[in-house]
Chain A
């Protein structure tokens, strides 16, 4: 009774000493084959996350097959690959202590079931359980996507778990700088033709009015909150006072613009009309437009704020 566990205890170091080295060699080979990133299946997943590991690993669970229709997976994958690639450039002594791996749903459905994963992408970090880098923790930790799918925060976070910092630096954005440079060049070349337009006050007036119309229609709200253009059920007005869809920006800006333009017609254009008949017609026309559009605006506002007690024509 007493001997058996003792024997097992004694034999443990040997099995440990023998298998991890072999496993590590295998993993290093796999990583080298995948360019720093191990393409996992159920078997190699078990190998990588073996309970007695003196390496750590970070695994991306994803579903890249088009049939799976996982848009976020495809969105996140480039960042993951970039970080893994950055890690593969570190000195070998450190590199072989942490592995980057990807497990696709179609290669390891059993693992997904085993972990109870119902959504992707997910990133788990498995700490080392033995050796000098063991922290005492054996359970994996989950990467929090609250900073989005970008590579930079990912590298930042994973650096806490790797032996040394991941030397990730964002790639030089050629497209953006080329666009800016060519834009500036085009501007310089066409300056002679553009200058009169730029010097006209009405160009600036239109720009200023558009900016303030769009801003006062809640454009920044939709930008910051990433609100959808319209609701899932086809509605274009979001319920609630502190909420709105992208389409509302356009409608409300149009309403404000129409009303503002009608007033400008009444102030700046109609008084210079030389025909009395035409002037009278225009005055009544624009007044009617103002009343009607204003009524529509109030109705729109009533939809957003149910308790609003006032209404106009409608």
Chain B
């Protein structure tokens, strides 16, 4: 066979395969290094700090686990959260993440490496991303081959869609969950391919780990049954499928029920019913197959078929009946809102209010996946081309995940692995085709009338022809396999000439390089901010750190009694608990909608209405986030409408959203702001004394670009306690009741020396008498 470029002749196949496996190990090590390194921007630009909101709770829980041991953690009741209700942490948490850090912590200490628990928490996500790269390699290897696997590992190692949830410091459940997801899927594919109960059990064990780590385990719970169902419908039922699924389902379900937070859900909620249903279906199908192979009578077979179909229908009817009898809980709101996209906004505003539950616009897809996003359909087509059992899995995964990612931004995370796998399959197919040295037979070339290439090619072919087989045996097999599929005309798949190869390869390498630049840029610019610490650039280009959040939390920690209850919107609950160590009314756990609505009502009603609520809940301090001075757009005034909406859900009579808009329907904070808006506690606390800052000049809110009134709001029931350097966090102290029993408003007026006005109704009554 002629080749396009010379191949080394004196290599034994053993040498080639040994070198290849060594290179693979080196490449995987480098990919792991790159995956970890690219997640360290946050540590280098800022410091080794826990990011955002939820990680603060995970960190706090991990500290409890590391200090007091697992049993204490399991029984931990936290009286400071959801004051005055408290929270049973052990039973309402996915403990996988904390347990992992705890094990690593104890292991390192057993080795006499006294590493701080915070550093373990900060570095956990980058560490697991290296494992994710490896798991993706193993998974993709099952789809195509090792080279595709390496590409997939490299893609997932640096793709922003995954980095966004796993930078150093982002100590959240997703940090370990994606590794578990990919490894469970790998074990499942392996179990299905080999019909191995061992791999089925392994899949179940990792499924258990996943259940313990992340609520997103439901994705696996439904993906694997769906794959099984599609295989049965396609007539691809095999005993391998039976063994793999049964071993996964039985062990996986029983073990997942050991997690207290999950409990009996696997047998009592709709999310898990698909898995149970497919399990039953598989038993029926397997039974039919077994009896068929033993019984010859045609009539009996018919009877059997009828019996099996009836059983199936009865089973389905039982599901429906149990759901109506409310033995099986209907879908939970969060899950249901994935299908009926208007559902959450109508019925559970608290789910709709979370920014990561918003739908995804196309730029986010490109930002997070770059060129993988358009290679991905090509990869799916290649999966259809081969369509082995495992390819069906990738196809189902691709369709489901792209829908979910479109509905919710945070589910981009589940789409990312399959995009990496599918585009790696496509990209490595491209490279395989154009790196293959084999040239088509000469007569074909000459027949087409090319003048230059055949001569060159023939010269080379004389030298290299014998070795082509040995050196590139693998790609030949692939090419042969591909062409064999094409049917009866055995076309040869090959490329003419060197320039064409070069054009494609240079193009491909250019795309990969662009991808690397894009990923580095996206990671360092968009995904590496801890959001606890903000950064801005000075005029000379140097970095200016805005540290208002920690300033305020440490103020609370140092200047208030340990029992002082702090009220804030739920976003900041975990941070206050983690950094200020003070009791909070509501936090990011959001399990009690009424309690959150109470806080929303207090924030959105006038001082007189809010004060009794504050006093009843023993609130000592109220904390608001205000970005108007600095232009920090994630502040409470921008979130205010959600507070109103959530409060309206519980008290539709007292709080009404339209009241907070101007008659023209605008959301304003300036002179034209509606009365309800101007009188709300949130508005008052945000703009209290704000105008004074401008010394009589126009006071501009830089987030909303509006001029606030020169005479700012006054507060009668609260005192300003602390305002941070850039005014981002403002803390107010709730006044105690007046000692003389007056209401605080008149007490205040009296203290200011104002005369109490005689109101008119009084005088009229006097006239009447």
Contact = CB atoms under 8 A, between A and B. Distances in A.
Interface string B652-677: 10001110000100000000000000
A147 to B, nearest CB: 6
A284 B434 CA distance: 13
B432 to A, nearest CB: 9
Given A118-B663, A221-B406, A209 B371 contact: no
B494 A271 contact: yes
Contacts of B378: 260-261, 263-264, 267
B374 A225 contact: no
B521 A266 contact: no
Contacts of A271: 433, 493-495
Contact of B359 (A118, A221, A283): A221
Interface stretch (B218-226, B265-273, B499-507, B561-569): B499-507
User: Taking each of A255, A268, A304, which has the highest tally of chain B beta carbons within 10 Å of its own beta carbon?
Assistant: A268
B361 A215 contact: no
A217 B359 CA distance: 12
Interface in A215-242: 215-221, 223-225, 241-242
Given A218-B360, A280-B497, A284-B500, 8 more contacts: A116-B663, A217-B362, A221-B361, A221-B362, A224-B341, A266-B430, A275-B448, A291-B507
Interface string B405-420: 1110000000000000
Interface in B331-361: 341-342, 346, 358-361
A267 B364 CA distance: 28
A114 interface: no
A21 interface: no
B133 interface: no
Interface in B597-636: none
Contacts of A301: 363, 366-367
A20 interface: no
Interface stretch (A41-49, A51-59, A66-74, A244-252): A244-252
B377 A213 contact: yes
Contacts of A260: 374-378, 381
A178 interface: no
Contact of A279 (B362, B380, B402, B500): B500
A305 interface: yes
Contact of B363 (A153, A255, A256, A304): A304
B373 A144 contact: no
Given A241-B363, A256-B377, A263-B378, A204 B450 contact: no
A304 to B, nearest CB: 4
B260 interface: no
Contacts of B444: 274, 276
B407 A209 contact: no
Interface in B488-541: 491-497, 499-500, 503-504, 507, 511, 514, 517-518, 521, 525
A212 interface: yes
A202 to B, nearest CB: 7
B481 interface: no
Given A221-B360, A255-B374, A212 B399 contact: yes
B382 interface: yes
A92 B640 CA distance: 45
Interface in A270-314: 270-272, 274-280, 283-284, 287, 290-291, 294, 297, 301, 304-305, 307, 309-310, 312
A307 B652 CA distance: 43
Contacts of B493: 271-272
Mostly, the B contact residues are helix
B514 A310 contact: yes
Interface of B: 341-342, 346, 358-367, 371, 373-378, 380-382, 384-385, 387, 395, 398-399, 402-403, 405-407, 426, 429-430, 433-434, 440, 444-445, 448-450, 453, 483, 486, 491-497, 499-500, 503-504, 507, 511, 514, 517-518, 521, 525, 652, 656-658, 663, 768
Contact of B384 (A160, A204, A255, A274): A204
B622 to A, nearest CB: 28
Contact of B341 (A223, A255, A284): A223
Contacts of A216: 362, 365, 373, 376, 402, 405-406
A205 interface: yes
A214 B521 CA distance: 27
Contacts of B377: 209, 212-213, 256-257, 260
User: Taking each of A160, A263, A309, which has the highest tally of chain B beta carbons within 10 Å of its own beta carbon?
Assistant: A263
Contacts of A217: 362, 365
A139 B527 CA distance: 51
A267 B433 contact: yes
Contacts of A283: 495, 500, 503-504
B521 A218 contact: no
A261 B448 CA distance: 26
Contact of A278 (B361, B367, B448): B448
A146 interface: yes
Top 9 A-B pairs, shortest CB-CB distance: A220-B406, A218-B362, A276-B496, A275-B448, A259-B374, A205-B384, A260-B377, A212-B402, A215-B402
A211 interface: yes
User: Taking each of A142, A213, A218, which has the highest tally of chain B beta carbons within 10 Å of its own beta carbon?
Assistant: A218
B430 A218 contact: no
10 contacts: A215-B406, A242-B364, A257-B377, A260-B381, A264-B426, A270-B495, A274-B444, A274-B491, A277-B450, A283-B503
A201 interface: yes
Given A201-B384, A202-B384, A276-B445, A266 B504 contact: yes
A212 B398 contact: yes
Contacts of A279: 495-496, 500
Contacts of B511: 294
B640 to A, nearest CB: 16
A212 B496 contact: no
B500 A256 contact: no
B361 A243 contact: yes
A22 interface: no
Given A272-B486, A274-B440, A291-B507, A215 B405 contact: yes
Interface string A149-171: 00001000100100000000000
A275 B507 CA distance: 23
Contact of A212 (B380, B450, B486): B380
Nearest to B422: A212
A211 B403 contact: yes
Contacts of B405: 215-216
Given A211-B399, A271-B433, A278-B448, A218 B426 contact: no
Contact of A263 (B359, B375, B494, B657): B375
A257 to B, nearest CB: 7
A243 B483 CA distance: 45
A295 to B, nearest CB: 11
B28 to A, nearest CB: 25
A234 to B, nearest CB: 20
A137 to B, nearest CB: 10
Nearest to A227: B361
Contacts of A208: 380, 384, 395, 398-399
A244 B486 contact: no
A205 to B, nearest CB: 4
Nearest to A220: B406
A205 B395 CA distance: 9
Nearest to B385: A268
A215 B418 CA distance: 15
A209 B381 contact: yes
B399 A272 contact: no
B384 A276 contact: no
B496 A218 contact: no
Contacts of B448: 274-278
A205 B380 contact: yes
Given A205-B384, A213-B377, A310 B518 contact: yes
Nearest to A208: B399
Contacts of B500: 279-280, 283-284
Contacts of B395: 208
